[in-house]
A and B are shown apart, each in its own frame.
Chain A
Amino acid sequence: MKEKASDIVEKVHPISMYLKVWLLLFLLSSFSYLVDYLQIQGILRWSFILFFMFLKAGLILAIFMHVIWERMALQLLLFLPPIAILIFILLINIEANYVYLNRLITLISP
């Protein structure tokens, strides 16, 4: 596992950057906890949850895992395959709703 010069260049960032991201992650986690604590319900609830979730995930990936400083070849390796997951979520969502509907019909039919 030989280290390459390109691995080290641009890897040393000021500590303040990490502390800022850390603080931001703390704040975002508090916000998503507040969503539950204040019992916000309905569409507002999950749009908040998803918004904070994606922000947190993005910060961890981009800064802590250094993805924004990587070359595009690696970025695409990481972000293209999960499109299959999104399609799978969509399909299972349709399937699960269909199963739910069928169960309801079975329950109410004599």
Chain B
Amino acid sequence: MTNKINQTPENTRWQSLVSDWSTDKQAFDMSSGKLMMWIFLLGDTFIFSIFLIGYMNARISTTEIWPNASEVFALTIAGHHIPLVLIAIMTFILITSSGTMAIAVKYAYQRDRKIAVYLMVITALLGVSFVGMQAFEWSKLILEEGIRPWGNPMGAAQFGAAFFMITGFHGLHVSAGVILLLIIARKIHRGDYDEKGFQIVEITGLYWHFVDLVWVFIFAFFYLW
């Protein structure tokens, strides 16, 4: 591997791109696990995009009034009518969990096993509270507001189908992320990665940040739009 071409200095990002793709080596300079996570997330991006595009199509093409999300998701707390309050809390919780995850990755790379495990468990707990609030929101919409996938009293029938499909699929991702986090945290605690290195935390973190990323788009397009 003392090929001359491999020693070409990479002065710019474009040169690094050319050398990654043209030299006789693996094109992506990272472990297979991390690359596979990125490719999976790219695929997931397309799935969520298709859901959101389907929602856009239904919303533009319907001649009925689209239910006002600001009103549908409002809560009355201590006599005050606050629009979207639960959704805002859920957003802050997910962002906070992303922050603890990012710091967990940092400590894992510093080989500080204990703090990394703690932070991953906190991340998982925040994820559980997010799913819990979502369950509360769903039951409120189904039982009190009478929203069904095939219709609702407020307007366009497609509202329910789009809402349950998109947030349901996202909630499923959060739940899967919580399970993944707990499994990996347990394995780190047990010392399974002491010799292999702690890149697994970064890979798990990529998934978790992606779940947060998707929520940013759902929050903007479904709740605020």
Binding site for B on A (CB under 8 A): 1-4, 6-8, 11-13, 15, 18-19, 21-22, 25-26, 29, 32-33, 35-37, 39, 45-46, 49-50, 52-53, 56-57, 60-61, 63-66, 70-74, 76-78, 81-82, 85, 88-89, 92-93, 95-97, 99-100, 103-104, 107
Min distance, Cβ A95 to any Cβ of chain B, angstroms: 7
Whether B61 sits at the interface, judged by CB under 8 Å, is yes
Q: Could you give 9 example pairs across A and B, Cβ below 8 Å?
A: A7-B202, A18-B106, A22-B99, A35-B224, A36-B84, A64-B212, A73-B27, A73-B29, A81-B42
- B31–A4 CB distance below 8 A: yes
**Does more than half of chain A's interface fall in helix, strand or loop, or is it mixed?**
helix
Contact of A76 among B17, B32, B217 (CB under 8 A): B17
CA distance A53 to B199 in the complex (A): 29
Query: Number of residue pairs across A and B with beta carbons under 8 Å?
Result: 176
Q: Could you say which interface size class chain B belongs to?
A: 35 or more
A6 proximity list for chain B (CB < 8 A): 29-30
- A64–B209 CB distance below 8 A: yes
- B109–A12 CB distance below 8 A: yes
Whether B216 sits at the interface, judged by CB under 8 Å, is yes
- B17–A18 CB distance below 8 A: no
- B216–A36 CB distance below 8 A: no
Min distance, Cβ B116 to any Cβ of chain A, angstroms: 13
Min distance, Cβ A43 to any Cβ of chain B, angstroms: 13
Min distance, Cβ B190 to any Cβ of chain A, angstroms: 17
- A93–B84 CB distance below 8 A: no
Q: A53-B220, A64-B102, A65-B209 are in contact. Are A93 and B30 (CB under 8 A)?
A: no
CA distance A98 to B213 in the complex (A): 31
- A18–B220 CB distance below 8 A: no
Min distance, Cβ A53 to any Cβ of chain B, angstroms: 4
B109 proximity list for chain A (CB < 8 A): 8, 11-12
Min distance, Cβ B202 to any Cβ of chain A, angstroms: 7
Binding site for A on B (CB under 8 A): 13-14, 16-17, 20-21, 27-35, 38-39, 42, 45-46, 49, 53, 56-57, 59-63, 70, 83-84, 88, 91-92, 95-96, 98-99, 101-103, 105-106, 109-110, 196-197, 199-200, 202, 205-206, 209-210, 212-213, 216-217, 219-220, 223-225
B60 proximity list for chain A (CB < 8 A): 93, 96-97, 99-100
- B38–A1 CB distance below 8 A: no
B39 proximity list for chain A (CB < 8 A): 77
Min distance, Cβ A84 to any Cβ of chain B, angstroms: 8
Min distance, Cβ B111 to any Cβ of chain A, angstroms: 10
The 8 closest A-B pairs by CB, nearest first: A96-B60, A22-B99, A3-B197, A53-B220, A99-B61, A1-B33, A72-B17, A73-B20
CA distance A95 to B57 in the complex (A): 8
Kindly report which residue of chain B lies nearest to residue A103, judged by CB atoms.
Answer: B63
